[in-house]
Structure 1
């Protein structure tokens, strides 16, 4: 069975202008689809994708920048004023690791409060992030056969990691890019691990000495590219053909 997709490419980047209640997504929650996806601002899963048995070395690697310090919630902040710094922030915002008594809701809200551009934050937007995270958490638990609430059992987890990048726009104060994320979940010690790959579009702006996620930047990025790169994991020859750059964390 296809794993329930967390779709945690950053998080739901929401713009609330006080008039239009419809969120604009740059890394929203996704659910599996039986048809081959097209890449949009919202991450799309690859239901039929599987990694080839033979390894093809990625042509391009990027050791993403780390944050110089941490916020009170433990998330990295203080990224360099470079394009690599923007990508480092995207990777940090995309990282999810839910185990034990932690929840997707806690992690999504931490990402929202830490990385969302302050001018695009609002009570309405935060409520939408909370609602989306709670719905995704409930759907994932059902798919894994876990209790609807309470701590995850031993060996169970929900994780998301950014593993690829393909930039669209790069300027001193704006970076937009397609991001490739692997979403992994496990229902317990003896339960097989399930893995799904998603592609989404993220935008970052430089403001007040750090990079922040921006829904407006995502909208700008969508005007620059009609169709995103195909989903393929590092080690797949198609990863190079699609123009991805593999991500690894700098020490």
Structure 2
């Protein structure tokens, strides 16, 4: 389950996918767009041209064949459970760095959806109050971007069997202060355009800042770090070298 890509190939791949990620208006991407545009909800200009320093989720190539060279994670993050739910979304995480990471993981997982109602629900549950309404208004565009990412037409009924699912596999964080934590989430995003089609799995690094607001952690717009790490798979030596922690949530690994 190793990801053995040469650095030059990774750079070429990143340049190729920047155009694609510019239309994937999932939660973190919407936050970055608002941060860049100043949150002007009255504008209809769309997302700015993708730039390496201000695009959000950062994909790599699809997964290669498993060569049997599995390397066990050296570190694990036991993320705390939420104390409540809004619909089926966990909220009310503890005021700890691990709680901030748990909220960011939950928001990143929910954002990868073909259902605009689910995308909007995640925004309402996890976005910082001052940006929430602007982002919620863009939820339908976010779902359209996700459809295009999954190889599905942006409009019309979903083909039978079309899927888009994200599973967080790694996390790391850095405390900014007692009320804010910068979090990176490493995800496997798997999609198929219709029933019977081969599924594709992409590795994504999703950055975000968690801020303590009204008794819970929320996602706040911030520019991604300049040196956003390349996506790597859990089970690879690079996963450990880059300092990722394998995720444990509740009883799940």
Do the aligned partners of 1:174 and 1:204 also contact (CA within 8 Å) in 2?
yes
Query: Residue by residue, what CA displacement relative to the aligned partner does 1:16-41 show, whole Å, maximum 9, x if unpaired?
Result: 55589599x9xxxx9xxxxxx96755
Q: CA deviation at 1:250?
A: 1.5
Alignment equivalent of 1:121, drawn from 132, 147, 162: 132
Alignment equivalent of 2:109, drawn from 95, 112, 121: 95
Q: CA deviation at 1:61?
A: 0.8
Q: Distance in 2 between matches of 1:169 and 1:22?
A: 35
- For the pair 1:12 / 2:30, whether they are aligned, the reply is yes
Match of 1:34 in 2: none
- If the length of structure 1 is used for normalisation, what is the TM-score? 0.75
Relative to structure 1, the CA distance from residue 133 to residue 188 in structure 2 (aligned partners, 3 Å threshold; closer, same or farther) is closer
- Note the residue ranges of structure 2 that are not aligned, 5 or more in a row: 1-15
- Note the residue ranges of structure 1 that are not aligned, 5 or more in a row: 31-36
Alignment equivalent of 1:43, drawn from 19, 36, 57: 57
Query: Residue by residue, what CA displacement relative to the aligned partner does 1:40-88 show, whole Å, maximum 9, x if unpaired?
Result: 55111112653652110011111212211111x3211111111111111
Give the 3-state SS of the residue equivalent to 1:231 in structure 2. coil
Q: Distance in 2 between matches of 1:205 and 1:158?
A: 28
Give the 3-state SS of the residue equivalent to 1:107 in structure 2. helix
Relative to its length, the structure with more helix (as a share) is 2
Match of 1:195 in 2: 201
Relative to structure 1, the CA distance from residue 187 to residue 110 in structure 2 (aligned partners, 3 Å threshold; closer, same or farther) is same
Match of 1:133 in 2: 143
- If the length of structure 2 is used for normalisation, what is the TM-score? 0.74
Give the 3-state SS of the residue equivalent to 2:73 in structure 1. coil
Match of 1:107 in 2: 118
Q: CA deviation at 1:179?
A: 1.7
